[in-house]
Amino acid sequence: MISMGFTQSDIKKWPDQKCSDLYKAIGVFTSLAHKEWEKKNEEKGAIYASVAADYSNIYQTVCNK
């Protein structure tokens, strides 16, 4: 098992502008995923949805404190 060696207190909140940009990117990738699913391109839609989910996790970790 790999330990990252970080605790919750080690993670610093990002500046507001970076968090705002990240939040917008989540919206962009969510929208792209939706458009691809409407076109029945599930593989591409899943990729965009995965990126949105990854960015969301990052946002929750470094912006939503």
Look at residue 2 and tell me whether its pLDDT is greater than 90: no
Dist. CA 40–CA 45, nearest whole Å: 8
The pLDDT of residue 39 is 96
Whole-model pTM: value is 0.80
Each residue of 26-49: pLDDT tens digit? 999 999 999 999 999 999 999 999
Look at residue 63 and tell me whether its pLDDT is greater than 80: yes
Per-residue pLDDT band for 64 (boundaries 50, 70, 90) equals: confident
For residue 19, how far is the Cα from the chain centroid? 11
Per-residue 3-state assignment (H helix, E strand, C coil) for the chain:
CCCCCCCHHHCCCCCHHHHHHHHHHHHHHHHHHHHHHHCCCHHHHHHHHHHHHHHHHHHHHHCCC
The pLDDT of residue 12 is 86
